[in-house]
Structure 1
Amino acid sequence: MITRVQKHLTQDLIPFWKGLRDNEYGGYYGYLGYDLELDKKAVKGCILNSRILWFFSNTYTLLKDESLLDEARHAYEFMKDYCIDKTYGGIYWSMTYDGKVYDSTKHTYNQAFAIYALSSYYEASGDKEALTLARNIYDVIENKCKDNIGYKEASNEKFEKADNDKLSENGVMADRTMNTLLHVLEAYTELYRVKHDIKVKEDLEQILTIFADKIYNPRLHRQEVFFDNDYNSIIDLHSYGHDIETSWLIDRTLELIDDNGELSEKIRPITKDLAEEIYKSAFDGHSLPYECEKGVVNESRSWWVQAETVVGFLNAYEKSDRKEEKYLDAAKSCLDFIFDHVVDTRKGSEWFYEVSKEGEPNPLHPIVEEWKCPYHNGRMCIEIIKRCR
């Protein structure tokens, strides 16, 4: 497993994303169509830039290849110089190809990914300015994107409430989402990992409590996804990919802040239940469908869901009391599905955005856009290498 994955990371994913570097205007190009036509004047999503920064920072930390640190620095400079609002603070939603503000929305989800990326870049480079920026955005979230019961979603550039259309779907407009909370947790975990701050740890503990008390549905063995302002679920939706992703991301947080403590005793049964339910009710033996809404399964196989499935089942195997082989077998089987069907072997590509249950690619989705990035698949490779070496 590890040899195949490391080869894919170093010979396929890394060269592909290096090839999207924009040396004229900074950052990385924002769109590559299914036809592999590159649009050099496409909008540059700040989430995409953050995830690229995270990817190159972490591959450098893993592989110690100086060219990767140079790529990370390139992404960092674009973020620092253009994406961060120097007047009101925080990071914008997207920029034009040449670094002008395209969408000035300040979304908590996007702030979280900037913290995630900047913390990793600080670890890779030792650049204290990056840590300062991460802490500044952390302060933005805590002071402007949070209320007495949890984290808010979308704001305008002055941090006045805006419609949450960017993270709402399935016909609802959510006041709060599981997805934003999950990635604030992920970002704060990374920030705490590189700079142990007691306040960040306390925030992580609060987030885990929200997950246990508000997000997790013990009767249905799943997370709820979209909520009104008071954390009442507003749609019957089982997001398979987010549940398997959450199962290992929360375990990672617990390892860092509360290994075998009281909080772990409360939370670990939940992450175990999430992984087990996905294995039992959603995994088909080879791959994972996208989601189930009102009892109807969306059978598409999204690139990111498959990547998280591999890591989630590998984590479930490691965390199970008797090293349950079914989880390891599931991780290996999904990895085979990825290499057989999701990896796009055409020259100048990487992974398809989406394939059918049978593995046929969907030509309506591009290879790169603001959400399609090296974060899930790159992280899958990094996690496998770290866990299996």
Structure 2
Amino acid sequence: MIMVNEIKQELVNGIIPFWKGFRDDEYGGYYGYMDFDLNVDRKYEKSCILNSRILWFFSSAYKVLGDESLLDEAKHAYEFLLKYCLDKKDGGTFWSVTYDGAPLDTTKHTYNQAFTIYGLSSYYDASGDEDALKLALSLYELIEKKMRDEDGYLEAFDREFKPVSNEKLSENGTEATRSMNTLLHVMEGYTELYRVSGDNRVRKSLYEVLDIVSKKIYNPQLHRQECFFDKKYNSLVDLYSYGHDIEAAWLINRTTDILCDTELSEKIGKITDDLVSEVYKVAFDGRSIPVEAENGIVKEDRVWWVQAEAINGFLDAYERHPEKKEYLNAAKAVWDYIKEVIIDKREGSEWYWYVDAEGVPAKEPIVEPWKCPYHNGRMCLEVITRNVT
């Protein structure tokens, strides 16, 4: 119980108050930037991904903790999303808006639509607001009609849904037509939508996603997922993303659990077991997990979200295989590492973006469009609800 109690305290006394403090009551939503020296830029752009993830976080935290103030925060994020993040002319969610809500980056990215679905679905679950569910289903229909082809999901589009370059979700010198990361979070958003709606169209799409994962994304020879692809699913770079593999393992398991298909769970479970086993074997150093390896060369930075997802992945694997105590011990060890190295002890801060192999924090922002309570907040909620000792 020690780890569970400590993580609940981190959520209640650390993460939640920090993000409540980012609420913008003048222009709506949440402030988009805090630098390493803890200066908040109240006129920084507001990422719609940041806002939808905050919507998900406060909605989900309310469901777990029952604190009405959390539902109020979720409603604040929801109202900002409705008023500013949604394109009322052409449909879909913008990439970002200005601090006062004007469209800024009008790119329509599949990844971004998926996170809007994720946030709206959780908000519906927390609030019972039927309009939120209707909007989530309409965005699902938009993705299926405008952001995929017969072989799966595409990436980036302009405001009117014409394909554009995918630099936002391409890394390591690639220009990906398809990516593991986008597919993973389409699955995540659809899973939450199916959980709260029971819509059979969404269920069918989840089967299609899992088929792509098993046949195109998962590499059984290397015991990992490939990351970036051309249109025909040819891998573009030799990249092993430890963080995405440990995250994908438990998210895929969650999807099959919610589909309640025993045969599918057994089939996909062999893949997720392999992903966790390999990360444990090749990446876990007894305390933490580095971010990735490209062309066999390990990038040793310890990124905040990778450590959070390692706890989720190891705990999920332990619950499914309680004889594998090493996974429970790994989760506990990563939590000890987070407490010691990743959590920023300065007053008014939260978690460092990343530290180097020696534990020295990089002078990266504490908050920016990708740095939000989605990963670490979710880890806390997962640990509390799993209640693994």
TM bin (shorter chain): over 0.9
Pairwise CA distance, 1:356: 1.3
**SS class of match (1:166):** helix
Match of 1:41 in 2: 43
Match of 1:157 in 2: 159
Partner of 1:182: 184
How much does 1:265 deviate? 2.5
Q: Which residue of 1 aligns with 2:228?
A: 226
| Deviation at residue 87 of structure 1 after TM alignment | 1.1
Q: Distance in 2 between matches of 1:356 and 1:318?
A: 31
Aligned counterparts of 1:309 and 1:337: Cα–Cα separation in 2: 11
| Consecutive unaligned residues in structure 1, runs of 5 or more | none
Counterpart Cα distance in 2 of 1:158 and 1:22:
30
Amino acid at match of 1:82: Y
1:298 maps to 2:309? no
Q: Secondary structure at the match of 2:15?
A: helix
Q: Which residue of 2 aligns with 1:23?
A: 25
1:276-309 per-position Cα deviation (integer Å, ceiling 9, x unaligned) = 0000011101000000000100000000000000
Distance 1:267 1:10 in 2: 35
Determine the C-alpha separation between the residues in 2 that align with 1:200 and 1:380.
26
Alignment: residue pair count: 386
Mapped pair 1:115 → 2:117: yes
Identity %: 59
2:326 is aligned to 326
- How many Å separate the matches in 2 of 1:258 and 1:60? 26
Question: TM-score, normalised to structure 2's length?
Answer: 0.98
Alignment of 1:370-381 (within 5 A): 370-381=369-380
Q: Does 1:191 align with 2:193?
A: yes
- Measured at CA, do residues 315 and 360 of structure 1 come closer, stay the same or move farther in structure 2, by a change above 3 Å? same
Residue 264 (structure 1) shift:
1.8
- The CA deviation string for residues 12-40 of structure 1, in whole angstroms up to 9 with x for no partner, is 10000000000000000000000000000
Aligned to 1:361: 361
Write the mapping of 1:89-100 to structure 2, written as runs, cut at 5 A. 89-100=91-102
TM-score by length of 1: 0.98
Instruction: Report the equivalent of 1:345.
Output: 345
CA distance in 2, matches of 1:89, 1:252: 29
Residue 212 (structure 1) aligned with residue 214 (structure 2):
yes
Deviation, 1:168, is: 0.3
Question: What amino acid maps onto 2:231 in structure 1?
Answer: N
Q: Distance in 2 between matches of 1:74 and 1:387?
A: 28
> Does 2:138 match 1:139?
no
Q: Provide the C-alpha distance between the structure 2 equivalents of 1:340 and 1:52, rounded to a whole number of angstroms.
A: 26
- Looking at structure 1, the residues matched to 140 and 255 of structure 2 have their Cα atoms a distance apart, in angstroms, of 17
| CA distances 1:280-339 after superposition (whole Å, capped 9, x unpaired) | 01110100000000010000000000000011001111112x431000000000010001
What residue is the counterpart of 1:72 in the other structure? 74
Where do residues 249-264 of structure 1 align in structure 2 (5 Å cutoff)? 249-261=251-263, 263-264=264-265
1:317 is aligned to 318
What is the identity, as a one-letter code, of the residue corresponding to 1:20? F
Following the alignment from structure 1 to structure 2, what is the Cα–Cα distance between the partners of residues 197 and 51? 23
Q: 1:343 offset after TM fit, Å?
A: 0.5
SS in 1 for 2:317: helix
Cα distance in 2 between the residues matched to 1:345 and 1:137: 40
SS at match of 1:311: helix
For the residues of structure 2 that align with 1:330 and 1:226, how far apart are their CA atoms?
29
How far apart in 1 are the matches of 2:281 and 2:342? Answer: 23
SS in 1 for 2:206: helix
Q: How much does 1:105 deviate?
A: 0.1
Cα distance in 2, alignment partners of residues 43 and 181 from structure 1? 26
SS class of match (1:87): coil
Structure 2: how far apart are the matches of 1:179 and 1:129? 28
Separation (CA, whole Å) in 2 of partners of 1:137 and 1:156: 16
Deviation at 1:345, TM superposition (A): 1.1
Structure 2 unmatched runs, 5+: none
The root-mean-square deviation of aligned C-alpha atoms, in Å, is: 0.7
Q: Tell me which stretches of 4 or more aligned residues in structure 1 moved more than 3 Å.
A: none
